[in-house]
């Protein structure tokens, strides 16, 4: 009987080990893994935009994540006419076979924590986005600005 208990405990421990291997971990991305498009130049962690540009994250499946965190610092306007918006987080997702594009602007530096289920779109207000419907996530920048982006983390479902 004692051996059977030990066997069950061992089986349970093994099963828990397998299950925890499936538990998602947060995923860190480097700016260098992302793809800059349009008028965006990347130098190390620094994004420099001469016009409107995007830094597209490499992930193509967001199903296992609840949000994204990043840090914006050393913001600089390269032109006195540039707006005060530091950057925005842009998300494209599919809803009813249509591609929906939403954007959340940031006007302060520091840590940004964005939850997909409480995304503050500039036009629609607070919306909930199903992570499995997300097709593209990027950081957008307006004209003539420079900012450092660090600590990009996809937050896993816990």
Predicted pLDDT at 112: 97
pTM: 0.83
| Bridging pattern class, strands 119-121 and 35-43 | unpaired
In angstroms, the CA 150 to CA 156 distance is 18
Predicted pLDDT at 8: 74
Tell me the β-bridge partners of 100.
93
**Average pLDDT for runs of 10 along the chain of length 158:** 75 63 79 89 94 92 95 96 95 96 97 97 96 96 96 92
Predicted pLDDT at 13: 66
Question: Do 149 and 72 form a contact (C-beta atoms < 8 A)?
Answer: yes
Predicted pLDDT at 39: 85
Which positions ≥6 away from 156 have C-beta within 8 Å? Answer: 23, 24, 25, 26, 27, 64, 65, 66
């Amino acid at each position: 009987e004692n051996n059977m208990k030990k066997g069950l405990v061992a089986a349970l421990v093994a099963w828990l080990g397998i299950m925890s291997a499936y538990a998602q971990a947060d995923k860190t991305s480097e700016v260098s893994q992302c793809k800059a498009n349009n008028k965006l130049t990347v130098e190390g962690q620094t994004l420099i935009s001469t016009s409107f540009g995007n830094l597209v994250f490499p992930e193509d499946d967001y199903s296992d994540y609840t949000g994204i965190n990043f840090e914006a610092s050393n913001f600089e306007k390269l032109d006195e006419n540039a707006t005060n918006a530091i950057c925005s987080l842009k998300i494209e997702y599919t809803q009813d076979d249509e591609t929906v594009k939403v954007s959340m602007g940031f006007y302060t530096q520091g840590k940004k924590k964005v939850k997909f289920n409480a995304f503050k779109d500039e036009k629609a207000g607070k919306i909930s986005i199903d992570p499995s419907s997300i097709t593209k996530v990027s950081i957008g920048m307006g004209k003539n600005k420079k900012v450092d982006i660090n600590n990009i983390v996809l937050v896993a479902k816990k």
